[in-house]
Structure 1
């Protein structure tokens, strides 16, 4: 979807431009786990 919106022929182009690699493999998990109580339970989809 993002590939089409951005006008890239290949998904790899989109990923190369808009993502970056980290040496800290647990960084994303820590960020996802760092929510305030009003955000709802971790991992749950809360309707807006």
Structure 2
């Protein structure tokens, strides 16, 4: 684990400078796909 500590520290700093959210990025696409499909219900798995 000591070998991973510097790498994880650098990744943490990078992520703090460049936040990114899968939800912010993909939610509009999911909403469009569901609306286009005519689905009345959606199952959110995780």
Query: What band does the TM-score fall into relative to the shorter chain?
Result: under 0.3
Q: Counting helix residues as a fraction of each chain, which structure ranks higher?
A: 2
TM-score (structure 1 length as normaliser): 0.25
Structure whose CA Rg is larger = 2
TM-score (structure 2 length as normaliser): 0.26
